[in-house]
Chain A
């Protein structure tokens, strides 16, 4: 028996994952979900591995029909989720039956919504990742009529309990919209902006329409480079804050070319990169200075939250008698667990 879904309507939607970590060493950007937290949570909610292929919906409405019974979860930017016309909640597992129509519309804030399906999708991979690479011309772009096969059709997961939210999963739901606060650490070349580097923190920046998965361009008070030495091309990290010639600040995201010749003023933290993945053109953002140590603490708290969510989900599926959904060994390894805080996620 085969199963999956058929796309009925899509604006900008792709199948992606957490990224192509083997790419940068051979000149390909890492790419992958621009809000990694939401992507991981969606997969956890349907008992997938966090790095399984997932649908990333950008800005526009998205609709599909289930061709078999599916367990889905929708996370990320808030949208109205309808299953056969009945509104259902994001950020929790939703069971849909074969033939039912799923519609996501009116993204209220933020920019990217994620749809995970239990057992995930059977899609091509390049260097172990399905993440689209626009430069290499690789990836699954979803349009009306696209069929996506799930890897396996398990036991029927249609369960009456799923029609109501019986479980308090306590998922941290990131706040999107409004003025986003973006944590940055000092970049390795911050001293090349001596005297004006603090401008980064003085006033908000406005994200311009020229922003995409490669990077976000922003207008505002620009720090000025004091040295004029030509920088030879070198590896730049995702999150690099640069001041190229012109009147805009450039913040590189996961689609960034792996090498560049501009000095790196600051680097956006991993959690703040997720927040940037939800920022729309025209939105204001404010940079906040942090340290690598503090950023690490936040990442560990975030990891601990994901691990606890995984445990709760496992317990719930076990209680429902669908233990087969739960695969062993999916807990992330964390040696230093601390209470999760909303800090850095908001």
Chain B
């Protein structure tokens, strides 16, 4: 088990209050694990002036308060943390799985037919592929801690030429080679193929969203009756006691 090689990461200033660390090992999975391990290691060690980290796919943005700590000192802490990381180690020894019920198409998924046409599938096949895939939560993104997922289609789905000013919470969408479900209402340029009746974001709890990078997500098709019956319930990990 070797630590992260200096050649496998790029450390770049990102203005006076942030540093970007990018993985460039050539192995996407390894880069993803390294940047998330780094974010967790820095959070665990704490230290004056570090305000937080935003780990995503192959990079992590590390933010600090330049009134309290210099960029040089932060870079030094980053190198120390990298030396203690095992790149092969899984992000979580016991990842949780979340099953998200989705009402596909129609009013809830206005772009389903367009997505089908753009990638050369029937709408039913789009739904089948979307719900047969197993997804790993790569990172939490906007809006409101969305689980950013890979896939599931073999060809990228173009973004909407004219983004919507507002899409509601619960929307299940795809773009490029990514998929997600939105915990909060926000403007959106992704194609909407369905919606979940479950609530993902709970401002009265910590963590605010129940999943973390490394957890698994799968989607399951439901009908309108089930949608109404489940409306407003909170998303919980499979096997969690209600």
Contacts and interface: CB of A to CB of B under 8 A. Distances in A.
Interface of A: 21-29, 126-127, 135-138, 185-188, 230, 232-240, 257-259, 264, 267-270, 292, 295-296, 299-300, 302-303, 332-334
A135 B52 contact: no
Given A22-B52, A27-B141, A300 B63 contact: no
Given A21-B63, A233-B148, A267-B18, 7 more contacts: A26-B208, A26-B209, A127-B206, A135-B186, A233-B178, A234-B57, A259-B148
B94 interface: no
Contacts of A299: 16, 66-67
Contact of B20 (A29, A185, A235, A257): A235
23 contacts: A24-B54, A25-B54, A25-B140, A26-B140, A27-B142, A27-B143, A135-B185, A138-B203, A185-B13, A232-B56, A232-B57, A235-B61, A236-B61, A237-B14, A237-B17, A237-B18, A237-B63, A238-B17, A257-B141, A258-B54, A264-B14, A292-B15, A302-B67
A24 B139 contact: no
Interface in B12-71: 12-18, 20, 39, 43, 48, 51-61, 63, 66-68, 70-71
B67 A269 contact: no
B54 A259 contact: yes
Interface in B97-127: none
Contacts of A232: 56-58
A245 B71 CA distance: 32
Given A185-B13, A332-B67, A333-B68, A25 B185 contact: no
A27 B67 contact: no
B173 interface: no
A138 B208 CA distance: 12
A261 to B, nearest CB: 9
Contact of A296 (B63, B70, B185, B208): B70
Contacts of A233: 56-57, 139, 141, 148, 178
A271 to B, nearest CB: 9
Contact of B71 (A29, A237, A296): A296
B194 interface: no
Given A25-B53, A232-B57, A259-B139, A136 B16 contact: no
Contacts of B43: 25
**Most A CB atoms within 10 A — which of B14, B66, B185, B203?**
B14
A28 B145 contact: yes
Given A232-B57, A233-B56, A259-B56, A27 B145 contact: yes
A162 B156 CA distance: 66
Contacts of A230: 176
Contacts of B201: 136
Contacts of A26: 140, 145, 207-209
B16 A21 contact: no
B146 interface: yes
A28 to B, nearest CB: 7
Nearest to B204: A126
Given A136-B184, A237-B63, A292-B15, A21 B58 contact: no
B144 interface: yes
Contact of B141 (A258, A295, A332, A333): A258
Contacts of A21: 51-52, 63
Contact of A239 (B15, B70, B143): B15
A339 B13 CA distance: 27
Contacts of A137: 184-185, 203
Given A26-B140, A234-B56, A296 B20 contact: no
Contacts of A334: 67
B61 A234 contact: yes
Given A28-B144, A296-B66, A188 B71 contact: no
B36 to A, nearest CB: 11
A93 to B, nearest CB: 24
Contacts of B207: 26
Contacts of B68: 333
Contact of B52 (A24, A185, A234): A24
Nearest to A303: B67
Nearest to A21: B51
Interface in B179-206: 184-186, 201, 203, 206
A135 B206 CA distance: 17
A237 B143 contact: no
Q: Name, among A186, A258, A295, the residue most crowded by chain B CB atoms within 10 Å (CB to CB).
A: A258
A27 B146 contact: yes
Contact of B17 (A188, A270, A300, A332): A270
Contact of A257 (B13, B57, B58, B143): B143
